Structure 1
Amino acid sequence: MKLLTSFFLIFHIQVWAQTTVKGVVQGPDGNPVPGANIYLQGTYEGTSSETDGSYVLQTELNGQHILVFQSMGYRSREIPVTLSGSSYDINVVLKEAIGEMNAVAISAGAMGASDEKKAVVLRPIDIVTVPGAMGDIAGAFQTLPGTAAVGNDGRLFVRGGDASETAIFIDGMKVGNAFGTTAANVPTRTRFNPNLFKGSFFSTGGYSVEYGHALSSALSLSTSDIPLRNQGDISLMSVGGGFTQTLVGEKNSITATSNYFDLSPYQALVRQNFDWERAPSGWDAEVAAKQRWGKSGMIKAYLRKESSGMQIWQPSPGVQERGALIRLQNNYTFAQSTFKQAFSKEWDLYGGISYSRNVDKLGLDQQDVHHINQVGHVKVVGVKGLSDSFSLKSGLEHYLFSLRQNFISERLQGKLIDHHSNFFTEADYYISKQWIFRGGLRSGYSSQAGQAWLDPRASLAYRFGHQGQLSLAAGKFSQSPEPEFRILQPQLQNSQSNHLIVNYLLDKNGITFRAEAFYKNYYKLLTFRGQPFFYTHIGQDGEGQARGFDFFYRDRKTFKNTDFWITYSFIDSRRKFAGYSEKVQPGFAPRHNGSVVIKHFVNMLRSQLSASFIINDGYPYTDPNHPGEMNAKTRGFQDLSLSWSYLVKPSLIIHLASNNVLGRENIFGYQFAAEKNASGKYENIPVGLQAPRFLFLGIFLTLSKDKSANQLNNL
C-alpha cells in the first residue's frame, strides 16, 4: 500500500493576491494563433489562447519567471516576467517552424500526460485524482483506452498482453519489480508515490526504439524538477501516515519522505472476507535530490527503501478447513541517478544508472522459499538536431538481470545472471509542416541465451488543416522470458511481437478525441506446466494475436467547472501460452471495456466531487466440468467509485473516497478442485474481491512560510 497523498485538485478560490498577464498571440502574417499553450516554465500555471488569439493568465506566484508560448507549427517563445500582483500586457508574434516536435507529432500508440506537450490526453494531476485508482498510478491508467481492469491483480494489462509484458521506466531508466509483492488474489499496487512525477508517456504499442524489453506496452514516468519552496507535508490516513520535508536552494533541492501503513485497525472496523493471520503492514522511506548543472543541465538522484509483510489463509475448493497459510515478507531497494545536458548547436545528452533489489521470503504452507531479484540498467543517449527538419537520436545501454532462489527445506539453490547490451538509433524527419517520418533500429545481445536480435520500427504522421492528425506506427518488439523460467532453462530465447497501429487524434479548444485501431501478433511465447517454483515442460511454441480498436473523448469546455472523459476499447486477443494447449482468449483480456471519469469543481464549497465508472463484459475461465479450455465466462465487471476533496484552508485538505460504492460482487474467475467429488464434479470457489469496497479518509497538512502552499505544488 502506498501513501495516497495525491488525490486532489487545484481549487479555484480567489483569496490571495494575483498577477494578471494578458495579450494577443499572432503568427508572422498577423493572423491570430488560437489554442496556443501559454505557461510559466517549471510550473503548471498556464492557459490557452482563444479563437481571436487573446489570452489571460492569472497566477498567485510571484518573483522572476519565464513565460513560455507554444503552438503547433511555430517556434516557442520564452519571455522573462516579474510577477508582483500587478497586471501586464504581453503581445507575442510566433515564427513558423517545421523542425520542432510541437509541429506534427507521432501519436500512434502514445498517450502523453504533461502540460509541456501538445496532444495532451491526461495532465499529471489527472493521474492521481481518479476516484477508483485510490492514488495508485496503474489504477488511474486503467481508465485509459487499451487497458483492462483486473481487480484481483492490480497490474497493467494492455491490449491482450500479460502484465509482465508492460515495462515501467522512471526518467528513462528501467524499474525492476515496480509492483509490490503480494499473495494470489490480493491486488498489488505500484510502489512509487505519484507526487514524484510531473508527467508520463504511456504507450499501448509502437513505441520508440529507446524503450526495450517490453512486448506489449511501455510506461515512462518523468520526475518533477526543483520544487517551488521549502515545506513540510503531514499525511494522516485511515491506513497509516507519513511526513515529507522539502528543502529548496537556488539551484538544488532535497526531499525526504517516510511513511508507515497497517491495515489491521482499518480491517477491524470495516469487515473483510480475507482470512488474515496478519493483515498487510509496512514502511517506506525515500530521498530525492536535484541539482541544476550549468545553464541547461540537471542531475537527479533518487533512493527508495521499503519493507512490508502479510500472512493470509487461502481456501481450497472442497476443503472445509482454512486452507493453506501463505507467509510473505518483502524488502525492496531502488536507486537511480540521471543527468540531462543541453549543449550549443542543437546537441543534447542524457542518461543515467538504476538498480533495484527485491527480496521475497515466502512461506508456502510447508515450503520456505527465498527469492532475490536484481535489475541494473545503464544508459547514455545523444540527440542531435542536424537541421530544422532532421534530428538523430542514438544510445547505448546495458542491463543486468539476476535471480537467486533458495528452497530452504530441500536445501536447493538456483541462480541466473544475464547481461543484455543494446544499441539503438532513431531519426525524425519533418518532410513538411504536415508530415513527419520516424525510423529506428534497436539491437541487442543476451549473454545467457547467446542470442542477438534486431528490432526495426517506423512511424509516419500527417496533420490536417483542422489541427487533427493521422498517425501510423509499425515495428518489432522483443522481451526475454521472466527470470523464474530462465533459471530453470537458461537457453530460452526472446519472445517477440509485431505491432501495427493506425491513430487519429484531435486536441482543440479543450476537447480531445482519439481513435485507434491496432493489430499485434506474438510468437515464441512461453508455455509450461505446473505451479510457481515448480514449473515443468517449459517451451516456446506459444503464439497469438491481438486486434481491436478504442476511442477516447475528453471535454473540459462544454460544462462549466466540469471535466470528464469517456473511453471504449474492443480487444480480440487469442493466445497459446502459459499452460494452454491451444489458442484461447486470456482470462485477463475482456473483449469490451469502458470507463467514464467525471470531476466537478464546486467553488462555493471549495470542493471537488469526482466519480469514475469502469465496466467490461466479463472474464473467460476454464470449467473442467465441461470440455475445452476457457469455455466459460463470468458476468460483467462494474465498479462505481466516488470521492470528495475539501480545501479547509490553503494548507489543509481533507479527502474522502470509496471504490465499488454499490458493493457489486465482481468475479474474475473460479478456482477448481484438483479431483472430482463424490458426485463426479469438480468443486469450485469464486475468485473475486474479498473486500466489497475500500473506504479512504485522508487529512493532508502543509507547513510552510507560504501559507498558500499545499501538497499539490508538484502536480
Structure 2
Amino acid sequence: MKFLLTLSFFFFVQAVSGQTAIKGIVKDSKGESIPGVNIYIKGTYDGTTSELDGSYLLETTETGKQVIVFQYMGFKTQEEEVELNGGEIQLSPTLRETINEMSAVTITAGAMEASDEKRAVVLRPLDIVTVPSAMGDIIGAFQTLPGTSNVGNDGRLFVRGGDASETAIFIDGLMVGNAFGTTASNVPTRTRFNPNLFKGSFFSTGGYSAEFGNAMSSALALNSVDIPARTQGDLSLMSVGLGYSQTLVGKNNSLTATANYFDLNPYQHIVKQNFDWERGPFGVDGQVSLRQKIGKNGMAKGFFHTESGGMKIWQKVPGQEGRGQLVDLRNHYSFGQGSFKQTLANDWSMYGGLAFSYNVDEYNVAPFEIKNTNQIVHGKVAAVKGFSDRFSLKTGTEVFQFSYRESLKSEGLEREYSDAQVNVFSEADYYFSNSLIMRAGLRVAHTSLTGQSWVDPRFSLAYKFKHEGQVSIAAGKFSQPVVETLRVVAPESSNTRASHLLLNYFLDKNGRTIRAEAFYKDYVNLLTYQGERFLYRDIEQNGEGFAKGFDLFYRDRKSFKNTDFWVTYSFVDSKRIFANFTQMVQPGFAPRHNASVVVKHFVPKLKSQLGASFAFNDGYAYTNPNLPGEMNAKTPSFQDLSISWSYLPKPNLIIHLACSNVLGRDNIFGYQFSPIPNENGVYESLPIRQTAPRFIFLGIFLTLSKDKTANNLNNL
C-alpha cells in the first residue's frame, strides 16, 4: 500500500511539473479589455475564453513550439508562437479590429449616394423617376436635395452658389460633354439621358474625390445598369411623344436598343403657354447599350446615344412692339463610350474606358446665322490595390481633348481652339478602425493650350460614434477651364479655381436619415468682361468670390405606414465679382434660402402611389438699371407645388400622371431691360417667366415579356 501511494505521488509530481500555465489580459487597440475571446492551442483541444476583465488562464501539458490562437468576432484572428516547457508564460495580446464594409464609417462630407448597393444612401434609383416635380428628369430629382438651387428658367444643376458650368457629369467614370439639351435663352432644358439607364449615382456638393476634375463646385457620377434582369420590350406612350426599347439578355451579355420621338407642338396648342412658340420643341433620339461579362468578376460596357431636334420661338424685346425676335434653333448630338471593370489577383482591380461627345448647335436669329461645334474626348485608366483591410490605394491617369469652334456664318467670321489636358490622380484610404477613416488624394494636370500645370490636393476624415451617427470633414482645391464661349476669345486664360471646406454629420438608422453640413467655398481667377457674346471685350481674370452656408436634410421611411418623405433646407450666402459686374454681388442663380418637401404614399388597395413635392426659395437677385448699383433688386419668392399619381393596374402596365405648379403661381426669375431708356428716362422691362403656368405629363408604360410580370421599373 505504501508503495502504491509513493508511485501515485510520483506520477502527480511529474504531471504538474510538465504542465504550462499561459495567462494574460486580452485588450483592443484602445487599451480596453475584451471578454469572451476564444483562446486555444492550434491543432489541439486545449482552450479557454477570456473573462469579463479580459483575463484568461490556459493550462496545457503540450510541450515544444506551439501556436496560441486568439479569436473574436469583429477582430482579426491573432496567432502567437511560444515555447512550452512547463512553468508560467505571460501573453497579453492586443487585437486589431477587422474592417467591415457594411458597418465601417464612410466619408459623407459633400457626398450623397443614390443606389441600392450601399447602406448609407440618400436617394435610391426608384426615387429619381418618382419625384413629382422631376417629371422623369434626373436633375429634377437632385434639385430636391440639399445644396442645390432651383433655377426654373435654366433647368441645369446649380450647386452652393456655383453656376451650372461648375458641375461636371460622368457616366461610368467618363465625362459627358453637353449633357443637357441645347435650348433658347430663358427656356429650361433637361438632361439627354433616360434615368432607367442608371442603377445608381454619386452626387457631390463639394470636397469630392481626386479622381474627378474640371469642375469647381460639383461632380455627378452616374453608374449604368450592368446586365438587365430579363429579356423584355418597353413601350412608352406620353403626352409629349412615344418610345420603344427592346432588351435581349443572354447568360453573360445583353443588348438594349431604344428609339424615342417627342414633339411638344400638339401639347402646347392645348395647354396655355407663357411663351410665343412658332414651333414647339421636337426631337428624335436613339441609343444602343451593350454589356458583356469578362470572366468571373469583369464587365465590359458599350453605349452610344444620338439625337437631333430643334425649336422656333419668338422672344419679345423690351421697349419694342410686336412679337420680337424669331429664334430658330437646331441641335445635333452624339455621345459614345466604352468602359471596362476587372478584378485581378492579389486584391488588384482595374477600370477605365474611352468616351466622346460631339455637339452641333445652329441658331438663326435674323439677320445672324450662328453655328457652334463642341467636341470632348476623354480616356481614363485606373487601378486599385487593397494592401489590407485597412489600406487601399487608387491611382490612375486620364487624357482630355477639348475642341470648340463658333461661326458667325452671316458675317463670314470663325474662331476656334483645341486643347489637350493630361491628368494623373492618386488617392489612399486608411481605416484606423471601423470608426475612423482618412482619405488623402492628389490630382496633377497639364494643359497644352497655355502650358499651365497645376496640383489639386484633397483630404477627408470621418469618425463614427457608438450610436451610429458619424461626422466628416473634407477640404481641397478644384480647378476647371474657362467656359468655351469665353475661352475661344481669350485662349490664354488660366483655370478658374475654388477651395472647399466642409463639415458634415450623417445618421442613417431605422429607416430614417439625418444629414447636416456646413461649407465654405473660396473662388479665384474668375473672368470679368464687358459686352455680350460675340462682342466680349476687356476680358480680365481678376474676379473672385465666396459661398458659405449650411444644409439640412431629413428623410423618413418608417414613421408613417406606406409613406416616404424627405425635407431639405439650404442656406447659401454667395457673393462674387464676375462677368460684367464691378463689385461683389449675389449671383442671380444663387438664392439665399432654398427648401423642398417630397412626400410619396402607396395605397395598396388602389395599386397606386400618390406623390407631392413643394419647392421654395426666397427669390432671385437681378440688376434694375432704374436704380443705383448692381444686383439691386429681387424677385418674389419661387414656389412650386407638384403632384403625381402612379397607377399599376397590371404588373406590366404603369400609368403615370403628374402636374407641376398645380396652383399656377406666376414664378418670375428676373427681368430683361431695354438697353436704352425711353422718353421718360425709364428702362422698360419684361419679366422672365416659366414656359407655362403649369406642366401636365401623362405617360403609359407597357412592358412585354414572357412572364408578363416585368415592368418599366424592372431594372432600377
In the superposition, the TM-score normalised over structure 1's length comes to: 0.87
Q: Which residue of 2 aligns with 1:275?
A: 276
Residue 101 of structure 1: CA displacement?
A: 7.4
Aligned to 1:524: 525
Number of aligned residues: 629
* Distance in 1, Cα, partners of 2:154 & 2:524: 25
1:369 corresponds in structure 2 to 370
Query: Could you tell me which amino acid in structure 1 is paired with residue 342 of structure 2?
Result: Q
- Mapped partners of 2:219, 2:368: distance in 1: 35
- Matched residue SS, 1:195: helix
Structure 2 counterpart of 1:36: none
Describe the SS at the equivalent of 2:605: coil
CA contact (8 A) 1:132 1:641 kept: yes
The answer as to whether partners of 2:274 and 2:689 remain within 8 angstroms in 1 is: no
Residue 189 (structure 1) aligned with residue 176 (structure 2)? no
What residue in structure 1 maps to residue 204 of structure 2? 203
**8 Å Cα contact 2:283/2:308 also seen in 1:** yes
> After the TM superposition, which of the residue ranges 119-128 and 563-572 deviates more from structure 2?
119-128
Q: How far 1:97 sits from its partner (Å)? A: 2.8
Distance, in Å, in 2 between the alignment partners of 1:594 and 1:651 is 36
1:106 paired residue number: 107
Change (3 A) 1:588 1:706: same
Equivalent residue for 1:409? 410
Secondary structure in structure 1 of the residue aligned to 2:140:
helix
Q: Which shifted more, 100-109 or 335-344?
A: 100-109
Q: Equivalents in 1 of 2:264, 2:428: separation in Å?
A: 50
User: In 1, Cα distance between the equivalents of 2:161 and 2:690?
Assistant: 22
User: Secondary structure of the equivalent of 2:411?
Assistant: coil
> d(CA) in 2 for partners of 1:474 and 1:401?
28
Measure, in 2, the Cα distance between the counterparts of 1:191 and 1:558. 36
Query: Quick check: 2:109–2:502 contact (8 Å CA) kept in 1?
Result: yes
Q: How does 1:462-501 map to 2 (within 5 A)?
A: 462-501=463-502
Equivalent AA in structure 2 for residue 562 of structure 1: T
Q: One-letter code of the match for 1:343? A: L
* TM superposition shift of 1:111: 0.2
1:73–1:433 Cα contact (<8 Å) kept: no
**In structure 2, C-alpha distance between the alignment counterparts of 1:441 and 1:552, rounded to whole Å:** 30
Deviations 1:85-140 (A, max 9, x none): xxxxxxxxxx9732747511111000001111121100111111111010111111
**What per-residue deviation string (whole Å, max 9, x for no partner) do you get for residues 224-248 of structure 1?**
1100111000000000000000000
1:217 aligns with 2:218: yes
Match in the other structure for 1:122:
123
Larger-gyration structure (1/2): 2
For 1:179, what is the secondary structure of its paired residue? Answer: coil
Q: Distance in 2 between matches of 1:307 and 1:97?
A: 53
Letter aligned with residue 304 of structure 2: L
Corresponding residue for residue 595 of structure 1: 596
Q: Give the AA of the match of 2:516.
A: A
Pair 1:349 & 2:350 matched: yes
Instruction: Name the CA distance, whole Å, in 1 between partners of 2:190 and 2:206.
Output: 22
Q: Deviations over 1:132-151 (max 9, x none)?
A: 01011111111000000000
State the Cα distance separating 1:351 from its structure 2 match. 0.4
Please give the per-residue CA displacement for 1:66-93, whole angstroms capped at 9, x wherever unaligned.
Answer: xxxxxx9899xxxxxxxxxxxxxxxxxx
Distance verdict in 2 for CA 1:113–1:142, change over 3 Å: same
Q: Distance in 1 between matches of 2:705 and 2:280?
A: 36
Contact 1:329–1:361 (8 Å) recurs in 2: yes
Alignment partner of 2:486: what SS? Answer: helix
Partner Cα distance (1:500, 1:575) in 2: 18
Bigger drift between 400-409 and 302-311 goes to 400-409
Question: By how many angstroms is 1:30 displaced?
Answer: 10
Map 1:450-599 to 2 at 5 A: 450-599=451-600
Corresponding residue for residue 155 of structure 2: 154
Q: Which amino acid in the other structure matches residue 679 of structure 2?
A: A
**Does the CA contact (< 8 Å) of 1:74 and 1:103 recur in 2?**
no
Q: Does 1:230 align with 2:241?
A: no
Contact 1:550 1:569 (8 Å CA) reproduced: yes
Aligned equivalent of 2:623: 622
Is 2:318 the counterpart of 1:328?
Answer: no
Deviations 1:201-245 (A, max 9, x none): 000000000000000000000001100111000000000000000
Name the % identity: 64
Q: Distance in 1 between matches of 2:312 and 2:325?
A: 10
- Which one-letter code corresponds to 2:284 in the other structure? W
Alpha-carbon distance in structure 1 between the residues aligned to 2:423 and 2:74:
34
Structure 2: 5+ residue stretches without partners: 1-33, 38-72, 77-95
Structure 1 residue 690: Cα displacement: 2.8
Cα deviation, residue 29, structure 1: 9.4
Asked if residue 688 in structure 1 is aligned to residue 689 in structure 2, the reply is: yes
Q: Deviations over 1:618-645 (max 9, x none)?
A: 1110000010000000110000000000
Q: CA RMSD in A?
A: 1.6
SS in 2 for 1:604: helix
Unaligned residue ranges in structure 1 (runs of 5+):
1-27, 32-71, 76-94
TM-score normalised over the length of structure 2: 0.86
Distance in 2 of aligned mates of 1:313 and 1:73: 67
Q: Does the 8 Å contact 2:327/2:364 carry over to 1? A: yes
The CA deviation at 1:365 is: 2.2
Tell me the CA shift for residue 534 of structure 1.
2.4
| Paired residue secondary structure (1:322) | coil
Take 1:146 and 1:579, find their aligned partners in 2: how far apart are those partners?
26
Q: Check whether the contact 2:103–2:434 (CA below 8 A) recurs between aligned residues.
A: no
